[in-house]
């Protein structure tokens, strides 16, 4: 979702929309749809039958997305090595917000198994 050309294009649209009122009106509907999709995935789809994450973890995911967007906007002009260094620094700080990887893997397995343990 937050990787590749679509992500870059979306962020570029948001930046341009800051100074273009018509574009801002049209683009303003993207974030609610994006967050709704993220929430559906987090809840395991199918109407939230299996909860993958709690609100605290979802907040951590949103914070990570905000950091990625911020780096995309503020570091676009830097050489790849400097962009990478900034991402690595942010990533290490963001990791403190998330549970250990084995807990995330276990949650994904629960969801992909249809809620069966």
Per residue in 53-67, pLDDT (tens digit) is 567 777 888 888 889
Provide DSSP, the chain. --SSHHHHHHHHHHHHHTS-HHHHHHHTTHHHHHHHHHHHHHTTSTTTSS----HHHHHHHHHHHHHHHHHHHHSTTS-HHHHHHHHHHHHHHHGGGS--HHHHHHHHHHHHTTT--
Is this structure's pTM higher than 0.75? Answer: no
Residue 116: per-residue pLDDT: 46
Domain span at residue 84 reads 5-112
* Position 12 in a domain: yes
Count of domains for the chain: 1
Q: Is residue 77 part of a domain?
A: yes
Query: Could you read off the pLDDT of 83-106 as tens digits, one per residue?
Result: 999 999 999 999 998 888 887 777
Residue corresponding to tokens 């809840």: 43
The answer to whether residue 88 is domain-embedded is yes
117 inside domain: no
User: Does a structural domain hold residue 40?
Assistant: yes
- On whether residue 38 sits in a domain, the answer given is yes
């Amino acid at each position: 979702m937050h990787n590749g050309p679509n992500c870059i294009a979306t962020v570029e649209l948001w930046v341009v929309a800051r100074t273009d009122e018509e574009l801002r009106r049209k683009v303003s509907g993207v974030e609610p749809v994006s967050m709704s999709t993220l929430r559906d995935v987090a809840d395991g789809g199918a109407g939230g039958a299996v909860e993958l994450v709690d609100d605290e973890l979802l907040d951590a995911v949103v914070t990570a997305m905000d950091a990625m967007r911020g780096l995309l906007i503020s570091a676009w002009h830097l050489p790849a090595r400097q962009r990478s260094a900034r991402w690595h620094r942010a990533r290490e700080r963001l990791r403190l917000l998330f549970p250990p990887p084995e807990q995330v893997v276990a949650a994904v397995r629960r969801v992909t198994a249809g809620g069966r343990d």
